Structure 1
Amino acid sequence: MNLGRNVTRAGVLIGALCMHAWAAAATAEYSVISANEKVGSLVATIEGASVDITFEVNNNGRGPKIREQLTLNEAGIPTQWRITGKSTFGAAIDEQFTWQRGSAQWRGQDGKGSSRMPQPKLYITNDGSPWSAGLYVRTLLKAKDHTLEVAPSGTLRLEELQKTHVGDVPVTAYAITGANLAPEMVLLAADGSLFAQLSSRQVLVRTGFESKVEQLQQLERSLRVKRLEEMQRRLAHRFDVPVRIRNVRVFDPHTETLSDPVSVVVFRNRIASVAAEPSDFTPPNNEAVIDGGGGTLIAGLHDMHAHNSNESGLFYLAAGVTGVRDLGNDNQLLLDLARRIEQGELPGPRIVRAGLIEGRSSYSARIGSIPETLPEALDIVRWYSDHGYRQMKIYNSFNPDWVAPVAKEAHRLGMRVSGHVPAFMSPDRAIRDGYDEINHINQLVLGWLTGPQDDTRTTLRLTRMANFAALDLDSEQVRTTIALMKERKIALDTTTVILERLMASRAGKVQKGDAPYLDHMPIGYQRYRKRSFVEFKSKDEDQAYLDSVAKLLDLMKVLYSEGIQMLPGTDDTTGFSVHRELELYQKAGIPAAKVLRMATYDCEKYLGFEQSLGSIEAGKFADFFLVPGDPTRNVSAVRQIQLVMKDGLLYFPSEIYQALGIKPFTTAPTVSGPAT
């Protein structure tokens, strides 16, 4: 009961703060909930103009642990903001914003800067806690048109979404846009205090209301779905007449070459023809016509390691990704999202579902399912099969002794088995016990770098990778595993891009993989990408991580030469990371045309869909994209996408990016003729 009074009192203080009134110290407490389990907490102590915050999360063996100290002026805007602690993967945080006498200075992982400003602007943190969300909403509510220029740069916008009740507490739901890739969903109580911050996989909620998380997640999904339904109506161009794309070359994955100039005709969701036009040909009046400008049409890319959200669909489509394999998600969210995409209600790629199964430990990932017994684990396999999942994914804390019976049951039901290699288990044993595929290149490598007592449920699965540069790829243990993979036809879902991002990230610097697009992005995302994800104890360790990233490319070349099927995946949802993954394949020494085949036809064949997807041929589904360059020479050409067609719906990335608050990279070709 005292806690409830303290929280209410803190909310009143925050509201009073904005009215230039002050009171004694009070504390606001929040829980972080994932999959109905508490995985963290936030405690904010407000005393006069000062706010002191501690924020800690431990989910999937990682999470931020920070302390924030703010000083607010009479308008409720910070003039001092200090953030210290550790980021999600353990990198040190020391971020600060200061405004005094018309001048502001800031520093963080992304660098430092300063600016003259007569009054302090609202500061967008790089490593702040969710408490800032309430601060942003309260400030934006007082701004003209609920829009505000912010520091270091950019503009925040606020939209009121819905008034409702959580229990007996009246709340208002808002969306903040302009800082990050997806709108931030925030609930404020009537007194102006933060009640909850909502995301698809994690909820921050006022202590005492943890039992309302399911209601909050349903609210979050309904609000996002409503917004995306409107965007789908506006951005998906539908045609009841044939669509003719003229003057294009088509990438043929079978020959790994480009065709001579042809026209590709689509009727509804199927490719009707792929053929050269006679010199005197004039398109019929009842067709929609697009001039491809001599560019290249490529079958839609596939991300073989995705974790979809409602918002990820538009990013994937804009990047030419028309198919993904989801390797672990909230089960109800994924089933609902896949259904809505299939029915054309929401934008997004085709989704192949893999069911994640985890073990119970203090390091458990709170997605998918966590059985307590082996019979329960087998029932979970059957549930996934009955709900149309095509694959099982085993995770870090899963009992190694359960792998063989779970794999046997999955295979009986026609499902493939993949996963992380569970802690205290080797990749070789996982393969012998029934794995068909290993997820993440580091999960393969860790088998050569760790011993029986090493706990890979922790961030050790990243930090131990610093030792990889010194490993001999011709050593007996490496050759033994590769030989076993060849013998059993084991595939590897690489996600090299995410390992590069984690291991080669350096505070204040833009990674090569992010450089082509980052300055087009919202300021919050730009700052987030200029960070270190791991802490380096010395210059030698710093260099070891960089050398190990290069060694990963050497390993990819070895695996390619040995005939191991590598599946391009990202463990990300931006679409841009798919492009970088393909660049890394080419950088590893794989020819660009071969990389394109691996990212299109080979993925569909692996999944069993090559008869209807993966190449641009008459009768197949109309899933493809147009680029102006020749990606068979340089796969980076896939970054300049002009149009995307998915299941017969036409999208222009320039329109998508504008709708998402991102500066477009290309212009859309003109469509002439009738359209509906």
Structure 2
Amino acid sequence: MKIVKTIIASSIFSLYAMSAFADTQTTKFLIFLENGKQAGEHVVQRDDSGLIKVSFVFKDNGRGPELKEEIRLGGDGLVSEFKVTGTSTFGAPINESFRRDGKQAQWQSTSEKGSKQVDGAALYIPLNSSFEIGSISIGALAASPNNQLPLLPTGTLSQTKIAELEVTNGDKKQKVQLLAQTGIGLSPSFMWATTGDKPRLFGVIVPGYMKALEEGWEKNADAMAEVQKSAEAKVLNDWAKRLQHPLQGLTVIKNTRIFDSDKATVGALSDVYVLRGRISAILPAGSPVRGANAEIDAAGRIMLPGLFDMHGHVGRWDGGLNIAAGVTTVRDLGNENAQVQLIIDEVADGKLLSPQIVPAGFLEGESPFSANNGFVIKDLAGAKNAIDWYAQHGYPQLKIYNSFPKEILKETVAYAHSRGLRVSGHIPVGLRAFEAIDAGYDEIQHINQIMLNFLATPETDTRTLDRFNLPAKKTADIDFNSKTVKNFVKTLKDKKIALDPTLATFAFLKQKDGDINEPFATIASHMPPDVSRGFSVGTMKIEDDAALKQHEKSYAKMVEFVGRLYKEGVPIVAGTDELAGFTLHSELAMLVKAGLTPAQALQVATKNGAIFTRTESDRGSIKVGKLADIILVDGDPTKNIEDVRKASVVITRGFLMYPSEIHKNFGITPFVNNPPQLTPLKPVSSNNALGINEAVMQRYFNSAKRD
């Protein structure tokens, strides 16, 4: 490692020495959020010696990365030397470097170290980087004869041109192209590039969230976003057509054991009938089947009601991961309003592989630390206007965020209740959880917001990283048997305040850089290599081993506290706020770690989900007349919660889907290899459907003719 550091330090010194007298060209990209607020910039300096220097900063919601990069390209246009330093979204130090000398490539970061013999072209993909690596890849892929490029440490990157658009900047005009890259991550990466023999990055757009464009060309962002949305829709619609299998007529699922989410028990073998998206009958296994069009032999597999993820921020590419995990309903807890409405419409039309969405309206106050989804308001009139919009659009819930003005909280909550909305959220700055409950909250998001009730003071700025740092450092010292804590727990119980702890998400508080994050340990081997590689990147600043031990103890007490709350009768719901689908399974595992039985954890993810989304009349249990939101799982998740990952069949919205098919589509190794298949049944006459012998009927009709 010392040798590698010496080589890198020497090379960076030489880069600076060579560039001291070089001419420099600067390209600046401005980064805006969907509401038009500038959130950062990406500045690229290139000199005639071949050195590229990059300064990147992005801040939203009181957090974000700050990076400095130094890059040198080889004769093949690919990275020969790379170094990035800075801080991650949550303040962890970043120090990563790469060097290629001939066929020898070597790299190291705070979480990994590696080397590889390489023949021919290959592009190093850093664990932390700005947009510039993407820009380099665009040019390299365009020069490649097959638009493919080997990656380091592993993988292959491909690039396809999707669309072209003319953009303007005053009197200037140029054509830009929309490119889709595959081979990194779990979905295609879309980038806008210049055209010509040597294309480079022109802009990056995340529809509904962020737009980064070259300075001076920002006014083209909306038109570019619309082209990109349309292009993404074509891919997503194709996925839906291929992976959603419509259930025609009556389908019977034979020989299954139903999980009773009311009693948290598993019943005897049954046959479940599905017609037009609903459960039409439940009969003992082996009962006569009358007129079914198709059947599935569950062969004793357990049938679960569709799972609820109660803390999503849904994107169009998340749906497949959720469905493959058996998640058939997601409560969206903060999004750009037009984007989530688009997703809901696409789901309703069957054009998007996705669970059903239950939206919660997002309400934030103005500050330098604001999150910028939903409505960002200044006063009570603005808050009421936002609530009216959400009520008119059918939102059953309101979520309030960190910068919301505490002076108008109580009146805002009362108005939301008067319009029929439940109210949940983070705790606005300057308040603690008990004060938000006094103001009328029905639910609180995140375990850290609960811990801050005992750790924050009115002066604590919980809009900053302190909302993570304080709980990580000091929860270990909280006495759960103290009068203050017991009184707070009694308040939660008496007022039936629900808690959405997202324990799996907060495991990052105690993750040591270089060790795999606990929620993803059991799935890493199934994931594409570049994805599993990212599971070992720590994002929390943990100074030393003593601090790590304190963080570990604090996190363990957070898990313990959720178990205490459950045993006291405080309602718990299962949410993620992380990698779609997989994290919900990890959340259930954390609930089991907190002291719930696996069956109780499943009850939280089904029955409680339905109760607190107000969909209990349709979902959350397997009963005649309810929606056929159904999962067949291999193994027994009521005894081993990890078996919930083995979904073999998912039925929702009148479609049947195989998680193994979906996972292969994402490049994920399936968790189930031989799912039970949908088998068409031989068409029968209506007489047969009634169980009447055809010969008897024929004799009857012959007799009738004689009469």
TM-score relative to the length of structure 1: 0.94
Indicate the residue corresponding to 1:391 in structure 2. 397
Larger mean CA deviation between 254-263 and 283-292 belongs to 283-292
- 1:661 Cα offset (Å): 2.0
Q: 1:471 aligns with which of 465, 478, 481?
A: 478
Secondary structure (helix, strand or coil) at the match of 2:520 reads coil
Q: What's the counterpart of residue 89 of structure 2? A: 88
2:609 alignment partner in structure 1: 603
1:273 paired to 2:281? yes
Corresponding residue for residue 245 of structure 1? 253
Aligned pair 1:183/2:191, yes or no? no
Cα distance in 2 for residues equivalent to 1:97 and 1:648: 50
2:401–2:426 CA contact under 8 A, matched in 1? yes
1:170 aligns with 2:175: yes
Say which one has the larger Rg. Answer: 2
Give, in angstroms, the shift of residue 617 of structure 1.
1.5
Question: How far is 1:217 from its partner?
Answer: 2.7
Q: Which residue of 2 aligns with 1:370?
A: 376
* Structure 1 residue 165: Cα displacement: 2.0
2:681 & 2:158 partners in 1: Cα distance?
37
* Counterpart residue identity of residue 263, structure 2: T
Alignment of 1:495-534 (within 5 A): 495-500=502-507, 502-534=508-540
Q: CA deviation at 1:104?
A: 0.6
What are the residue-to-residue correspondences of 1:584-595 with 2, within 5 Å? 584-595=590-601
Counterpart in 2 of 1:52?
A: 53
CA distance in 1, matches of 2:465, 2:682: 53
Equivalent residues of 1:503, 1:545 under 8 A apart: yes
1:159-558 map, 5 Å:
159-167=160-168, 168-191=173-196, 192-200=199-207, 201-278=209-286, 287-465=293-471, 466-500=473-507, 502-558=508-564
SS, match of residue 261 in structure 1: strand
Query: Contact between 1:390 and 1:415, CA under 8 Å: does it hold in 2?
Result: yes
- Whether the 8 Å CA contact 2:191–2:204 is kept in 1: the answer is yes
Measure, in 1, the Cα distance between the counterparts of 2:258 and 2:110. Answer: 44
State whether structure 2 residue 48 is matched by structure 1 residue 29: no
Residue range with higher mean Cα deviation, 224-233 or 599-608: 599-608
C-alpha displacement of 1:288? 1.6
Q: One-letter code of the match for 1:399? A: P
Cα distance in 2 between the residues matched to 1:512 and 1:589: 18
Partner of 1:11: none
How far residue 144 of structure 1 moved from its aligned partner, in angstroms, is 4.0
Instruction: Provide, for residues 324-364 of structure 1, a one-character-per-residue CA deviation record: whole Å limited to 9, x for no partner.
Output: 11110000000111111022111111111111111111111
Contact 2:248 2:293 in 1 (8 A): no
Residue identity opposite 1:193 in structure 2: R
Q: Is residue 2:51 matched to residue 1:41? A: no
State the aligned residue count.
Answer: 651
Question: What pairs up with 1:123-162 in 2 under 5 angstroms?
Answer: 123-162=124-163
2:189 partner amino acid: E
Deviation at residue 614 of structure 1 after TM alignment: 0.9
SS of the equivalent of 2:383 reads: helix
CA-to-partner distance for each residue in 1:262-316, whole Å, 9 max, x for gaps?
222212201122222338x5x5685222221321110011011110001111110
Give the counterpart letter for 1:672 in structure 2: T
When residues 145 and 672 of structure 1 are mapped into structure 2, their CA distance, relative to the original with a 3 A threshold, is: farther
Structure 2 equivalent of residue 564 of structure 1? 570
- 2:642 equivalent among 607, 616, 636: 636
User: Which amino acid in structure 2 is aligned with residue 472 of structure 1?
Assistant: D
- 2:273/2:279 contact within 8 Å kept: yes
Return 369-378 or 557-566, whichever deviates more. Answer: 369-378
CA displacement at 1:417 relative to structure 2: 0.7
User: How far apart are the structure 2 equivalents of 1:434 and 1:570?
Assistant: 24
CA shift at 1:608, angstroms?
2.2
Give structure 1 stretches of 5+ with no counterpart. 1-22
Identity of aligned residues (%): 33
CA distance in 2, matches of 1:288, 1:134: 51
- Bigger Cα displacement from structure 2, 664-673 vs 565-574: 664-673
Which structure has the higher relative contact order (CA within 8 Å, separation 6+)? 1
Kept in 2: contact 1:358–1:369 (CA 8 A): yes
Residues 344-353 or 302-311, more deviating: 344-353
Partners of 2:463 and 2:518 in 1: how far apart?
A: 29
Q: Distance in 1 between matches of 2:428 and 2:96?
A: 36
Aligned match of 1:670:
677
Residues 106, 114 of structure 1: 8 Å contact kept: yes
The CA RMSD measured in Å over matched residues stands at 1.7
Retained in 2: the 8 A contact 1:404–1:434? yes
- Equivalent positions of 1:88-107 (< 5 A) are 88-107=89-108
* Structure 1 residues 477 and 213, CA gap change in structure 2 (3 angstroms): farther
Shift in Å, 1:523: 3.1
Displacement of 1:504 in angstroms is 2.4
SS at match of 1:370: strand
SS of the equivalent of 1:263 reads strand
**Any conservation in 1 of the 2:161–2:179 contact (CA below 8 Å)?**
yes
Which amino acid is 2:83 matched to? R
Q: Which amino acid in structure 2 is aligned with residue 33 of structure 1?
A: F
Corresponding residue number in structure 1 for 2:10 = none
User: Does the 8 Å contact 1:109/1:530 carry over to 2?
Assistant: no
SS of the residue corresponding to residue 642 of structure 1 reads: strand
In structure 2, what is the Cα distance between the partners aligned to 1:588 and 1:265? 36
Matched residues in 1 for 2:219 and 2:468: separation? 34
Residue 259 of structure 1, CA deviation: 1.3
User: SS at 2:664's partner residue?
Assistant: helix
Cα displacement string for residues 380-426 of structure 1 (whole angstroms, at most 9, x for unaligned residues): 11111111111111110111111111101100000011110011111
User: Which amino acid counterpart does residue 139 of structure 2 have in structure 1?
Assistant: R
- Shifted more, 503-512 versus 526-535: the winner is 503-512
In 2: Cα distance, 1:145 partner to 1:604 partner: 50
CA distance in 2, matches of 1:26, 1:548: 49
1:3 maps to none
Structure 2 Cα separation of the partners of residues 219 and 197 of structure 1? 13
Report if the CA contact (8 A) 1:307-1:327 is conserved: yes
Q: What amino acid is the match of 1:479?
A: K
- Aligned residue identity for 1:242: L
Deviation at 1:120, TM superposition (A): 4.8
Counterpart position of 2:12 = none
- Counterpart of 1:272, as a letter, is S
Question: Would the aligned equivalents of 1:180 and 1:523 in 2 still touch at CA under 8 Å?
Answer: no
Q: Find the partner of 2:626 among 620, 623, 629.
A: 620
| Counterparts of 1:521 and 1:672, CA distance in 2 | 31
Query: TM-score normalized by structure 2?
Result: 0.90
CA contact (8 A) 1:357 1:392 kept: yes
Q: Which runs of structure 1 show a deviation greater than 3 angstroms over 4 or more consecutive aligned residues?
A: 283-286
Letter in 2 for 1:579: H
